[in-house]
Structure 1
Amino acid sequence: MQGGSESNLAVTMAEMSRDLLAQDTVQRTLDRIVEHAIDLVDGCEHAGILLLQKGKVETLAVSDDLVRRSDRIQAELREGPCFDAAANSEQVYRIADLNDTQQRWPRYGPRARDLGIGSMMGFLLYTDADEFGALDLYSSRPGAFIERAELTGWLVASHAAVAMSSARLGAQLHSSITTRQVIGEALGIVMERYKVGEDQAFEVLKTGSQHRNVKLREIAEQITRTGEVPGER
């Protein structure tokens, strides 16, 4: 749904927020953000979510291969709108015409035009230490993103950032709970086998982790999966 009245946009944003929060994985949340961006932002034909971490580009979600190739070119050249936005902590960027970027991005600009990109727009989703996450929107037409499109894109990105944060936190909590459960089960196996207390059983897991140079969870998973205790003879 593109365009529409202000009241319709507000309703649509609320529906989008509910949809994003209903997704059960981080990746599904990211994929839905991209889909909503194309549906809602006037002029948007392609969209993607990019992570810039310590100078390395990672594509998290894309609508199609054009976006993936654009990300790959920026990563290869270490040049382009996402690098500039991250360096300057830009909340929003809008490039009306890729033909006018010769001075700014002498290498990325021509290759982006070869991909069929006429104009671009991007929004900060989050920054975390050395990480920069952005929602990038593309059109084949120069001048496709007008002021209203920027406002709609900003609203989409704002709702998306909240949903993304919630999804990431949920995934971290789920991983933490699962880890505790696995370690608890492994401790129980060691305690039962050697008739020792919890502290001594934990030392067995810790020693196995250090000797094998793997995470404690991996040792615990091995014990629960095979029943074998590291170092046992």
Structure 2
Amino acid sequence: MSLNNKVIVVTGASSGIGALAARMLSEQGATLVLAARSADKLKEIRNGMMGPSKIVELDVGDDESVAAGFKEIYAEFGRVDCLVNNAGYGKFTAFDEMPLHEFEAMMNVNYMGMVRCTKAVLPRMKEARSGRIVNIASIAGKIGTAKSTAYTATKHAVLGFSSALRQEVRPYGITVSTINPGPIDTPFFSLADPEGHYVNNVKWFMMKPERVAKALVHAVRTGTTEINLPWTAGVGAKFYQVFPRLADRLSYRMLNKK
């Protein structure tokens, strides 16, 4: 798919992968809608855009905010060619120390936020019989590790949702892609790992955000089903699915770095 003049909405566009991918998509001729809670941060990102763009202050965790935001987008552009569900966050805490409201809040943003935004665009994509939906999941959605029960559950939900929706929308010419990265060097860890313990343990394995942003752009262009990053993590996830008991025993010490 040529990206020239395509209207692409990126949630969580105020930093990290969302901001980088938005710039890359803009360089390829797309019209970007930058959506996030912080208008000030979005303005900074917009200043670095090459092509046309729009800022929409939007909280994916709130029904009314999502409805109002996409109403504004459709009023100006009349369509959304691609939705990138990138907004999300994580906190790494042992299960018995994580308050229930944190589980609810994380699921509300990481999973229900994606559901809200997808519901906002899908009816018109079905009418047009075309569209792309790209969901940012995680390798954590395939391999769970200690101290990430809440976050891992949200990403399992994203993968399950994406797989089911992909089958529903196939007859309409709509594609659903998932990007499943491992640890990335982004501001994500300022909240997920404020003491830096996990980051120090996996620094050698962390990917540059540019690598993941390029994969995201590739998914937008091609509609590919799934991209696992790095490829070794994808192989590990396959091994875990086929031989769960053995993989769990072999990987326990290697994976539990939080």
Report the TM-score, using the length of structure 2 for normalisation. Answer: 0.25
Rg bigger for which structure? 1
Report the TM-score, using the length of structure 1 for normalisation. Answer: 0.27
